[in-house]
Amino acid sequence: MLQNDLILRTLRGEKTERTPVWMMRQAGRYLPEYIAIRNKYGFFERCQTPALACEITIQPVDIVGVDAAILFSDILVVPQAMGLEVQLKENIGPLLPDPIKSIADLARVRVPDVDETLGYVFDAIKLIKQELNNRVPLIGFAGAPWTLLCYMVQGKGSKTFDEAKAFCFTQPELAHQLLQMITDTTIAYLKGQIKAGADVLQIFDSWGGLLSPADFELLSLQYIRQIVAAIKDDVPTIIFAKGAWHSLDAMAATGAAGLGIDWCIKPEMARQFAGKDITLQGNFDPAKLLSPIPVIEKEVKTMLQAFGPGRHIANLGHGILPNVPVDHARAFVNTVKEYQWS
């Protein structure tokens, strides 16, 4: 039995003594303890070595006191397992030197045996569960098929992912073939994470908001729907589709237990779109953590008030920035934990 199951109860819609809190990208570069490990091992070495992934995953639980751990890994381990080379360039980001552009390129991509290619993730999860010793739940995750396609086709980060979009708009059949292959791999991958012990799963659609509402349904949501349908009866699932507030109603209808929202939508409006029977997660502007601590405390309270008690998991609207001081992150977490509903 988990000692702290606030997040699980909130995802079920149960009343809790307070709002739970964690931070997207909480295991990362703002922590000096993470940097110390980063200076010794390469990025994928950290992901592939269960003892390192375990240590990094638990750091924010010990250091900032969040109510959940999130597996240290990356969404790009899936394209890697599907046969693409993925590099992480320091201070630049992901680089896929041979992206998918044509039908010939698609022949290089496969739906892999996840135990063979991603077994190290499952081993990490088992070790983390053991080391957490039921203190807090463990969140597993995967990238949404659309967001993974963005990297697999564009080959690197982008503000617009225009090449990925052009691929989908000019070669729709190929695009859908690739999206379905990613979906099938992701379902097997997430089922493996559940079997290994993940308590909650989050689907990151970081670039969902680059699509029109109609294209979001066509290129993203119809695949997310398949993933949620395959896992929702085993563990609660959170969909975070950044910028895709226009489809909160459709995302709520997938059977997900929670929806992540960014800071560009009012909580009241997100609630109206999503309906009352789903938990919302978010939506503090990550850059606001650079404010003085008293400002952070005041703004966190404003956020909590806007969501109201119940059906809310406090979080950032996107990942924590590397230049956030640790005591600012801690102020964010502690303000949520100490908040009293009067």
Rounded to whole angstroms, the Cα distance separating 150 from 130 reads: 35
Does 65 contact ligand CP3 by CB under 6 A? no
Main-chain dihedrals φ then ψ at residue 291, nearest 5 degrees: -70, 165
Find the shortest distance in angstroms from Cβ 177 to ligand CP3.
Answer: 22
Find the shortest distance in angstroms from Cβ 17 to ligand CP3.
Answer: 26
Stretch that binds ligand CP3, among 87-95, 192-200, 273-281, 286-294 (CB under 6 A): 87-95
Stretch that binds ligand CP3, among 70-78, 128-136, 185-193, 282-290 (CB under 6 A): 70-78
| Residues 69 and 138: beta-carbon distance below 8 Å | yes
Interhelix angle for 222-231 vs 172-196, to 10°? 20
Rounded to a whole number of angstroms, the distance between the first and last alpha carbons of the chain is 30
Residue 164: CA count within 13 A, CB half-sphere: 27
The residue within the footprint of ligand CP3, chosen from 154, 186, 193, 206 (CB under 6 A), is: 206
Does 284 contact ligand CP3 by CB under 6 A? no
Residue (68 or 271) nearer to ligand CP3, CB? 68
Does 141 contact ligand CP3 by CB under 6 A? yes
Residue (171 or 324) nearer to ligand CP3, CB? 324
Does 8 contact ligand CP3 by CB under 6 A? no
Q: What residues contact 66, with CB distance under 8 A and at least 6 apart?
A: 21, 22, 23, 26, 60, 136, 333
| Residues 193 and 231: beta-carbon distance below 8 Å | no
Q: In sequence order, what DSSP letters do the residues of 306-332 get, joined into one string? A: HH-SSSEEEEESSPPPTT--HHHHHHH
Active site residue 151: yes
Q: What residues contact 116, with CB distance under 8 A and at least 6 apart?
A: none
Active site residue 108: no
Q: In what order do the strands lie in the sheet with 258-260?
A: 69-70, 138-143, 200-205, 237-241, 258-260, 279-284, 312-316
Does 197 contact ligand CP3 by CB under 6 A? no
Does 30 contact ligand CP3 by CB under 6 A? no
Stretch that binds ligand CP3, among 19-27, 183-191, 214-222, 264-272 (CB under 6 A): 19-27
C-alpha closest to that of 164 among 146, 181, 182, 176: 146
Active site residue 38: yes
Helix H segments across 24-76? 32-38, 43-48, 50-63
Does 156 contact ligand CP3 by CB under 6 A? no
Residue (24 or 218) nearer to ligand CP3, CB? 24
Find the shortest distance in angstroms from Cβ 181 to ligand CP3.
Answer: 19
| Residues 204 and 234: beta-carbon distance below 8 Å | no
The residue within the footprint of ligand CP3, chosen from 32, 93, 292, 325 (CB under 6 A), is: 93
State the sign of the Cα–Cα–Cα–Cα dihedral 39, 83, 152, 200. negative
The residue within the footprint of ligand CP3, chosen from 2, 4, 18, 38 (CB under 6 A), is: 38
Does 76 contact ligand CP3 by CB under 6 A? yes
Does 332 contact ligand CP3 by CB under 6 A? no
The residue within the footprint of ligand CP3, chosen from 26, 226, 254, 334 (CB under 6 A), is: 26
Catalytic residue positions, numbered: 25, 29, 38, 74, 151
Q: Which residues of this chain interact with ligand CP3, rule CB under 6 A?
A: 24-29, 38, 43, 70, 72-76, 88, 93-94, 141, 157, 204, 206, 318-319
